[in-house]
Amino acid sequence: MTSVTDTAPARPAFRLTRALQGGERLVVPALLIAGWEAFARSGMLPPALLPAPSAVLHALGDWVFGFDETTQTYSGHWLRDALASALRVFGGFALASLLGILAGVAIGWSRLFEKTLEPTLQMLRPIPPVSWIPLAIIWFGIADKPAIFLVFLGAFFPVLMNAIHGVKTVDHNLVRAGAMMGANGRQMLTDIVLPAALPSIFAGLRIAVGSAWMLTVTAEMVAVKSGLGYVLWDSYYFLRYDIVLAAMISIGLLGYLSDLGLKAIMARTLRWQQTTTVQGRAG
Amino acid sequence: MAAIELRNIVKVFSDKRRGRDLLTLDNINLDIEANDFVCLLGPSGCGKSTLLNIIAGFEQATSGRTLVDGKQVERPGSDRGVVFQQPTLMPWLTAIDNIAFHLKLKGVAKAERNDRAMEFIDLVGLRGFEHHHPSEMSGGMNQRVGIARALLMNPSVILMDEPFAALDAQTKLEMQEELVAIWQKRRCTIVFVTHSVDEALVLGNKIVVMTRRPGRIREAVNFDLPRPRDITSPEFNDAKRHILSLIREESTRLAQAS
pLDDT at B251: 73
* Percentage helix, strand, coil for chain A under 3-state DSSP, each rounded to 5: 80, 0, 20
Restricting to A residues 109-128, those with a Cβ less than 8 Å away from any Cβ of B are none
In whole angstroms, give the CA distance from residue A129 to residue A133: 8
pLDDT < 50: residue spans in chain B = none
Nearest CA in chain A to B140: A283
Q: What is the mean pLDDT of residues A39-62?
A: 88
Amino acid, single-letter form, for residue B101: F
Q: Which pLDDT tens digit goes with each residue over A12-46?
A: 556 666 656 667 778 888 999 999 999 988 888 88
The verdict on B156 touching A (C-beta cutoff 8 Å) is no
Q: B81 and B163 in contact (C-beta within 8 Å)?
A: no
Which chain A residues are within 8 Å of B86, Cβ to Cβ? 173
Q: Which of B49, B86, B136 to mutate to test the interface with A (most CBs of A within 10 A)?
A: B136
Beta bridge partners of B191: B38, B159
pLDDT at B186: 85
pLDDT at A278: 40
Instruction: Give B235→chain A minimum CA distance, Å.
Output: 33
In whole angstroms, give the CA distance from residue B108 to residue B115: 11
The verdict on B168 touching A (C-beta cutoff 8 Å) is yes
DSSP tag of A193: I
pLDDT beyond 50 at A280? no
pLDDT beyond 70 at A282? no
The verdict on B154 touching A (C-beta cutoff 8 Å) is no
Amino acid, single-letter form, for residue A280: G
pLDDT beyond 60 at A281? no
Q: For residue A143, what pLDDT band results from cuts at 50, 70 and 90? A: confident
Using the beta-carbon criterion (under 8 Å), do B92 and A198 form an inter-chain contact? yes
pLDDT at A16: 60
Tell me the count of A-B CB pairs closer than 8 A: 83
Q: Which of B135, B162, B171, B172 to mutate to test the interface with A (most CBs of A within 10 A)?
A: B135
pLDDT at A8: 45
pLDDT beyond 60 at A10? no
pLDDT at A273: 80
Nearest-10 Cα torsion for B151, B152, B153, B156: 30
